[in-house]
Structure 1
Amino acid sequence: MEAFLRVSETLKSFREARLSALRGPTEFFDHHRISRPADLTQATSRISYNTRYFSGNYGIIVAMLAVYAFLTNPLLLIALGFLVGGFAAINKWAPDPVQFGDHTVTQKHLYIGLFVIGIPLLWISSPISTLFWIVGASGILILGHASLMEPGIESEYASVQDSV
């Protein structure tokens, strides 16, 4: 019970920290502040500022892309469900060896069977390409938005607040 409370408190504090960094959709999608940076230095400074300023929004973008990637790859969902469900089922219902005629089936045998089926299934579902797609798509979206979005007036006062 104590572990559950600790996890609950950790999730609550994480949610409060991340949700406080969210900016409203009108500010995030403000088309009046979109402009092409003059040079690489300006683009770099915009990316540096906007990735901190919109970090909560960018986190939601990455999460939405990850959910989309998992939902459009059903074999990956099946493979992960098989492996996680297999671990849970073996730990819950087969902690002790079971006798079948002359053969004794232990937890080790069940885990080997789970791996023999689950690892090739996971390999076929291409989790590495899904991970690279999530990283690439979120990188393009985040860097594109951060470089095109002009920092607001509050960015001029950020250096003043840091020096005080």
Structure 2
Amino acid sequence: MEALLKVTDTLRSIRETKLSGMRPASEFFDYQRLSRPADMNQATSRISYNTRYFSGNYLLIVALLAIYAVIMNYLLLFSLAFLVGGFALINKFAPEATQVGDHTITQKHLYAGLFVIGIPMFLWAGPFGTFFSIVFCSALAIFVHASLLEPGVESDYAAVQDSV
């Protein structure tokens, strides 16, 4: 129960800090401001500005791509559910040792069995390929969007405000 409270507190703090800065979809998908950058310097400055300005939107894109990638990899989804569910079930239903015939099964034995089965299954599911596909797709989407979208008028005022 305590771990669940920590997770909800962490999610709440992420929502308050990162996702509170999300820009409206009309501004994020403003196709009238799309243009090809003239040179690499302009593309770099656009990427620098837009990644800060749309950081909440980009974080949401990364999260959605991660959820999609895990859902589409059924074996990875099953192995994660097996490990997390097994851990939760062991904590809930087996806090004390159980006698089975001549053997005493402790929580440590159950965890060992869970990990002996779950970790190879997890590694066989290809988490590294999924991770790198999420990183590549996210980076591609973010860099393309950030380099093609012209900064708004507020970017000129941000430069003036930073110098003051």
Aligned residue type for 2:143 = L
What secondary structure does 1:38 align onto? coil
Aligned residue type for 1:97 = A
CA distance in 2, matches of 1:137, 1:161: 34
Q: 1:10 to 1:138 in 2, by over 3 A?
A: closer
2:41 is matched with 41
| Count of residue pairs the alignment pairs up | 164
Shift of 1:129: 0.8
CA distance in 1, matches of 2:83, 2:8: 25
CA distance in 2, matches of 1:4, 1:97: 24
Q: Which runs of structure 2 are paired with 1:9-48 in the superposition (5 Å)?
A: 11-48=11-48
Shift of 1:19: 3.5
CA distance in 2, matches of 1:69, 1:158: 36
Q: 1:56 to 1:84 in 2, by over 3 A?
A: same
1:99 is matched with 99
CA distance in 2, matches of 1:145, 1:32: 13
1:145 is matched with 145
Aligned residue type for 1:105 = I
Shift of 1:6: 7.4
1:121 is matched with 121
Shift of 1:140: 0.1
Shift of 1:147: 0.6
Kindly, what percent of the aligned residue pairs are identical?
A: 65
Deviations 1:27-62 (A, max 9, x none): 111111111111111111100000001111111111
Aligned residue type for 2:72 = T
Q: Which runs of structure 2 are paired with 1:65-76 in the superposition (5 Å)?
A: 65-76=65-76
CA distance in 2, matches of 1:80, 1:141: 27
- Unaligned 5+ runs, structure 1: none
CA distance in 2, matches of 1:155, 1:7: 36
Superposition CA RMSD, Å: 2.1
CA distance in 2, matches of 1:111, 1:4: 20
1:63 is matched with 63
Which deviates more, 137-146 or 101-110? 101-110
